[in-house]
């Protein structure tokens, strides 16, 4: 079969590799749609060290079961599925506490050295399979994983009916967070980003006000339209120093800041601002029960991910798309490959 094999920084050619065989308890999924994730782009450049060559990336995917390993009884060949990519142990203290997203023994399909779905087929442990309803297109199935992350962030943020929210960053996760906050009953949603194109998308997805901080003063706008003291809730979806600092500055005393962004490992932050203004800062990572609910959100039509999928391309186009994203030659929001 064909696969995009990550062979080292900036190297991910299309290769002919042996077809995967199902082990006991596994199935083989023929990949129909797989999303290109920012974490794959950072893995491709070698900057995060979270992709260990040689391996196949791709963790946001849907497909159809083509083979069953021994002991698989709940699924059949021909089933449409979407795969929850996190492999967790189920027995560590974190898993037992319901926090499988931070399992102490976690790994994942398409992460570290485990092969994922930038390929015609992938081996999947049966416990990771979810049914993909017939009315949900393959490409939308590929958006379930990032939507789960946004829904987890919204679930960990104190948003009640009509709470105003500021979201910093309108990449895939920031944009999906708009949709998740809407589901949760948020009031005014203000979104900040440096890209006019992304801000237009944020508007389309339901942001009430979009701000390009290179052209307007975000703090003034928040104080003018939410309240003089600042915003009760700020969500950071970039993961770099300037937006991390901004998230603290924009929160009102007693306010809540959620950090989803995960790019720069160390950031200098105004501790005193947090202390003297009683700000709560909450990190969020991955998802737990949100995965199944994200499928329902898409199936029911309460969340429409269609606009975010800006490019659908064959598997062979993947290396160029990832390279262009890594070099900043394109800022396509979500590209989906269809092996
Ligand atoms: Zn991802
Ligand atoms: Zn665990």
Same domain, 315 and 277: no
Residue pair 103/92 in contact (Cβ under 8 Å)? The answer is: yes
Number of domains within the chain:
2
Residue 206 alpha carbon to ligand 1 centre in Å: 23
Reduced to 3 states, what is the DSSP secondary structure of residue 8?
strand
Kindly identify the ligand whose nearest atom is closest to the C-alpha of 105: 2
Same domain, 60 and 118: yes
pLDDT in tens, 256-308: 999 999 888 899 999 999 999 999 999 999 999 999 999 999 999 999 999 99
Residues in the chain: 339
CA nearest neighbour of 172 among 302, 271, 35, 16: 35
Show the domain range for 57.
Answer: 2-143+305-337
- Tell me if 296 is assigned to some domain: no
> For residues 130 and 142, what is the distance between their CA atoms, to the nearest angstrom?
12
Residue found under tokens 């929210």 = 165
Kindly identify the ligand whose nearest atom is closest to the C-alpha of 106: 2
Same domain, 63 and 178: no
Same domain, 232 and 113: no
Residue 308 alpha carbon to ligand 1 centre in Å: 14
Residue 111 alpha carbon to ligand 1 centre in Å: 10
Same domain, 138 and 24: yes
Inter-CA distances, 151 with 184, 263, 289, 291, Å: 9, 20, 10, 9
- The enclosing domain of 168 has a CATH number of 3.40.50.720
Kindly identify the ligand whose nearest atom is closest to the C-alpha of 89: 2
Confidence at residue 48, expressed as pLDDT on a 0 to 100 scale: 83
> For residues 116 and 251, what is the distance between their CA atoms, to the nearest angstrom?
39
**Residue 54 CB contacts under 8 Å (≥ 6 apart), including other chains:** 5, 6, 7
Residue 18 alpha carbon to ligand 2 centre in Å: 31
> For residues 197 and 6, what is the distance between their CA atoms, to the nearest angstrom?
30
Same domain, 152 and 224: yes
Low-confidence stretches of the chain (pLDDT beneath 50): none
User: How many CA atoms lie within 13 Å of 305's alpha carbon, on the beta-carbon side?
Assistant: 34
Give Cα 193 distance to the centre of its chain. 17
Q: Is the pTM of this model over 0.75?
A: yes
- The enclosing domain of 100 has a CATH number of 3.90.180.10
Residue found under tokens 């960053």 = 169
**Residue 240 CB contacts under 8 Å (≥ 6 apart), including other chains:** 261, 263, 264, 267
């Amino acid at each position: 079969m064909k696969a995009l094999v990550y062979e080292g920084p900036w190297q991910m050619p299309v290769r002919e590799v042996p077809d995967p065989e199902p082990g006991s308890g596994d199935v083989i999924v023929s990949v129909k749609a797989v999303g290109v994730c920012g974490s794959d782009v950072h893995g491709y450049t070698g900057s995060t060290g979270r992709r260990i060559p040689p391996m196949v990336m791709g963790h946001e995917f849907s497909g159809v079961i083509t083979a069953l390993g021994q002991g698989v009884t709940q699924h059949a060949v021909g089933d449409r599925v979407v795969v929850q990519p996190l492999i967790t142990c189920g027995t560590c203290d974190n898993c037992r506490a319901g926090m499988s997203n931070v399992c102490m023994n976690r790994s994942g399909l398409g992460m570290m050295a485990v092969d994922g779905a930038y390929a015609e087929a992938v081996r999947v442990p049966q416990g990771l399979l979810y049914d993909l309803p017939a009315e949900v297109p393959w490409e939308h199935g590929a958006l379930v994983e990032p939507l789960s992350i946004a829904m987890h962030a919204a679930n960990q943020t104190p948003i009640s009916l009509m709470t105003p929210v500021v979201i910093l960053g309108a990449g895939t996760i920031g944009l999906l967070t708009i949709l998740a906050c809407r589901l949760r009953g948020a009031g005014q949603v203000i979104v900040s980003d440096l890209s006019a194109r992304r801000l237009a998308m944020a508007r389309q997805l339901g942001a009430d006000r979009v701000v390009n901080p290179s052209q307007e003063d975000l703090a003034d706008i928040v104080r003018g339209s939410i309240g003089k003291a600042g915003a009760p809730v700020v969500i950071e979806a970039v993961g770099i120093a300037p937006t991390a600092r901004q998230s603290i500055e924009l929160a009102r005393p007693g306010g809540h800041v959620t950090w989803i962004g995960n790019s720069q490992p160390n950031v200098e932050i105004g501790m005193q601002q947090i202390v003297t203004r009683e700000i709560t800062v909450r990190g969020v990572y991955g998802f737990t029960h949100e995965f199944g609910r994200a499928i329902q959100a898409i199936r029911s039509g309460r969340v429409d991910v269609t606009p975010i999928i800006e490019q659908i391309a064959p598997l062979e186009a993947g290396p160029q798309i990832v390279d262009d994203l890594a070099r900043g030659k394109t800022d396509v929001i979500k590209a989906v490959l269809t092996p």
